[in-house]
Structures are given as structure tokens and as C-alpha cells.
A and B are shown apart, each in its own frame.
Chain A
């Protein structure tokens, strides 16, 4: 079996290298795009009650929509290929990051902001030196949720021509052939678990050091909220 798998990987016909690159591109580009869109949007929106309410509720609604549905919905409008897949995956990644950024911004103690203002900080300094460091851990939890969800959905992108390991899985399911099934499934599983563990480690170090060095209760609370955030529907 192992030999068959190695043979499958080595066979130039299966273009393992380019499928790997496609899988990585489909994973990382949407995650970065979602961060670039959702983080600034979340910070902007959180300052005003009505937009914050709308953003939180729309995000909640979008998160209820199955990931397969979001990917498939791209097909009639955007066609097939890499770009529609990347756009659909980005849409998938925005709600968890947006939700957490809004929640993080709103959870900042107003007294902290007042204190910073009292010290004579400008609006920009307030954002970069007070708000961002405080939001960062919560935001990182959202990024972790989004990233795991995106990676887990990457194989489904093969359905709309996105390529990547999903091609192997579909090929394996259609032909009931084990080598492509195992290579595709194991590849995507390793990537997903790796992203989850890697981002969990990064998340631990996000945020100001004095918060990290705080009491154990603080640490477990962060851990708890991070885990709570991971419960997004993944399909």
C-alpha cells in the first residue's frame, strides 16, 4: 500500500507538486484576504452601535450557511477555476474574524481608553498602542477559526475547478481507488491539523506581555474563548 502511495506521488502524471502548490495557495491567499478585509472593517464598525450590531448578526447568519453552499453559490456567478474558489473561501473566512474583532473592540474597558486619552495620546496612537494590542488575542482566535475552516473547505473547491488535493479525493471517490484518496485526504488533514496547532501556538503569544503573564484564570479564559470560537460549521 505504502509503495502504491509513493508511486502515486512520484508519478509525474499526477502532478503532485503543482497540486500541493495549488492547495497551499488556496489556503493562504483567502486567509490573508479575509484578514485584510475583516480586521479593519471590524475595528471601524465596532465604534458605532448599529453597524456593530448589523455586522455581528450578518456574520452569525453567514456562519450558519453550509460551506459547500457558499462555494457552490460562486459557480453560477463567477464560473469555475482558481479565482472563484479563492473568492468563495475568502467569504467563508470573513465572519469569524469580523465577529471576533468587533467583540474584542467592544470588550475594551472604556477606562483604559480614557486613561490613554488623559495621557495625551492622539487617535492614531490610541489605535496602534492601546486598542490593537488589546484586541489582538481575540482577533487571533478568529483568524485561527477562519483558517482552519478555510483549509478544511479547500478540497471542496476542487468541485468548482479550484484544483488542489481535492482533485485527488474526488478522483479517488469516483474511481474507488485508494492511493489518490489517501494522498489527498492525508495531505489536507495534515495541513488542517498543522494550521490549527500552529495558530494555537501563535495565539498564545499574541497580545501584550503583561496580559499573558497575568493570572492563570486569565489564561484559561482566553483559552476557553478561543475554543468556543472554533465551533464554526465546517463542511
Chain B
């Protein structure tokens, strides 16, 4: 704990101070999730419309998810070097399996009667999607985002091996210099970030669902 409480490690001018590493971790996670959603949404919409693609798409995403992160990032080094892209590409791909499954499940869970009502009111396809389907599907989608976020925070912590600094830096630096305090500081901060994100998104999820039952896939 003394490492975390030491003011020396909280100076913003130092690029490897705790707040800067924390910001690096959060930025990387947010970028990965936003990119992940941007890719998963269109895929999920296609899969909802053409059901026969569901199994191949989710199976492929599942196999990608099985691929160990350290190995995945290491194999990208020849193409992307030691850059944020080396870490981001696997992070974004790992989010797909959870996000696609949840978006599809969320859209399927919308009562068809409500879509009929919307159509009867003269809504266009886009209006139906944006004003009926998405608001109703949101809690389940957020449940997927929650799982993806916790996963991403965890995997992102190995980024310092590839030259991108975040909270994992404390762990690797501490291991290299056999400095247990620093290792534990990294362990505690990364865990707190993951658990904090988990609980925050759980809160968002229950606010959005407003008492309705959530049947999340993940």
C-alpha cells in the first residue's frame, strides 16, 4: 500500500506516475470497447436478419477469443511493431464474441408485438430500429459491454510488454526489479479498476432496465 499512497508516484509530470498509467489504461479500454461496438453492431444487425450466419460468426469469434492474448499480440509485432495497434487489434477482436452475442440476443428479445405497433404507427425501418428496438435492447447490450469491459481491462494490462504504458507497467517493472510493493500496487490498482468498471456498468444496466427482467447471454 505504501507505494500507492506515496505522493511521489502521483505527479502528473512523470509519464509513469499512477494517474498517468490509470488514464492510459482507461483510454485504451474505452477505445477498444468503442471500436468493438462499432464493428459488432453492423455484424449483429446482419446476423439478426440472416440467421444462418449466426453460428459461423459466433463460432469464429469464439475461436478468436480462445487465442491467448500474449501469443496474439506477439504474433502481430512483425506487422504493427511495438505500437498501440499491436495491443488494440486483439483487444477489439476479443470483444466481438460477447458483444455480437448480446446484441443479437437483445434484439431477439424485443417483443414482436411492439414492432407491429411501431409499424402500424407508420414508422420506417430506421425509425423502428432507433426508436423501438434499440431502447428496449439497451440493458442486455450494456450487459455485454460490461463483460467485454472487464475482460478488456484485464487483457490490456499486458500492453507494457509491447511498449504501451498502463497500470500493467507497475507489475512488469516491479517483477523486473523484484520490487514487491510496486507489483502489489499494480495488482491492486488493476483489480480495483476492473471491479469498479464491473459494478459501475452493473448500475447502469439496472437503471436502464427499470425493473424489467434482464436475460443477458453473457
CB pair B71 A185 closer than 8 Å: yes
A155 close to B172 (CB less than 8 A): no
CB contacts (< 8 Å) of B78 on chain A: these are 178
Segment of A13-21, A64-72, A116-124 in the binding face: A64-72
Q: Answer whether residue A11 sits at the interface, using C-beta atoms and an 8 A cutoff.
A: no
Contacts A65-B195, A72-B175 given: A173-B67 contact, CB under 8 Å? no
Cα–Cα, bound, A232→B218 (Å): 9
A67 touching B62, Cβ below 8 Å: no
Interface size on B, residues (CB 8 A): 47
With both chains docked as a complex, state the minimum distance between the C-beta of B17 and any C-beta of chain A, in angstroms.
19
Residues of B within 8 A of A153 (CB): 68
Contact B155 A72 (CB under 8 A): no
* Interface hub of A72, A151, A230 (most chain B Cβ within 10 A): A72
Interface flags for B44-81 (1: CB within 8 Å of A; 0: not) read 00000000000000100011011111111011011000
B66 to A184, Cβ gap below 8 A?
no
Smallest Cβ distance from B132 to chain A, in angstroms?
26
Interface: A97 (CB within 8 A)? no
In the complex, are the beta carbons of B151 and A231 less than 8 A apart? Answer: yes
206-235 of chain A: CB within 8 A of chain B? 224, 227-228, 230-235
By beta carbon, the residue of chain A nearest B168 is: A68
A227 to B61, CA, bound (A): 11
Q: Size class of A's contact patch?
A: 35 or more
Q: How far is the CB of A62 from chain B (nearest CB, A)?
A: 10
Distance, CA A182 to CA B75, complexed state (A): 7
Given contacts A173-B161, A185-B74, A228-B218, A192 and B153 within 8 Å (CB-CB): no
Most chain A beta-carbon neighbours within 10 Å: one of B68, B69, B155: B68
Contact indicator B153/A66 (Cβ below 8 Å): yes
Q: How far is the CA of A191 from the CA of B94 in the complex (A)?
A: 18
Are B157 and A233 neighbours in the complex by a CB distance under 8 Å? no
Note all chain B residues with C-beta closer than 8 A to A2.
none
Interface assignment of A143: CB less than 8 Å from any CB of chain B? no
Is the CB of B147 closer than 8 A to any CB of chain A? yes
Please tell me if the beta carbons of B71 and A235 are within 8 angstroms of each other in the complex: no
Q: Is B15 an interface residue (CB 8 A)?
A: no
Secondary structure of the A contact surface, majority rule: helix
Task: Please state if A235 and B155 are interface contacts (CB–CB under 8 Å).
Answer: yes
CB contacts (< 8 Å) of B153 on chain A: these are: 66, 233
Fill in one digit per residue for A139-182: 1 if any B CB lies within 8 Å of its CB, else 0. 00000000010011111100110000010011011001010011
A6: interface (CB < 8 Å)? no
CA distance A185 to B74 in the complex (A): 7
The yes or no answer to A49 lying at the interface (CB within 8 A) is: no
Residues of A within 8 A of B175 (CB): 72, 75, 159-160
The 8 A CB mask of B179-218 against A (1 = contact, 0 = none) is 0110110110011001100100000000000000000011
Residue among A73, A151, A152, A156 making CB contact with B187, cutoff 8 Å: A73
* Alpha-carbon separation in the docked complex, A156 to B72 (Å): 13
**B68 with A192: CB separation less than 8 A:** yes
Query: Nearest Cβ distance between residue A148 and chain B, in whole angstroms?
Result: 6
A186 CB within 8 Å of chain B? yes
Q: B137 in the interface, Cβ–Cβ < 8 Å? A: no
CA distance A156 to B66 in the complex (A): 15
From B77, B150, B187, contact of A176 by CB (8 A): B77
Partner of B74, one of A67, A154, A169: A169
**A148-B66, A169-B74 known, 6 other contacts, Cβ within 8 Å:** A159-B175, A173-B77, A185-B74, A193-B63, A234-B65, A235-B155
Interface residues of B (CB under 8 A from A): 58, 62-63, 65-72, 74-75, 77-78, 94, 97-98, 101, 147, 150-151, 153-155, 157-158, 161-162, 168, 171-172, 174-175, 180-181, 183-184, 186-187, 190-191, 194-195, 198, 217-218
Residues on A lying within 8 angstroms of B by beta carbon are 61, 64-69, 72-73, 75-76, 148, 151-156, 159-160, 166, 169-170, 172-173, 176, 178, 181-182, 184-186, 188-189, 192-193, 196, 224, 227-228, 230-235
Q: Could you give 11 example pairs across A and B, Cβ below 8 Å?
A: A66-B155, A66-B190, A72-B186, A73-B184, A153-B68, A182-B75, A188-B71, A193-B66, A196-B66, A230-B62, A232-B151
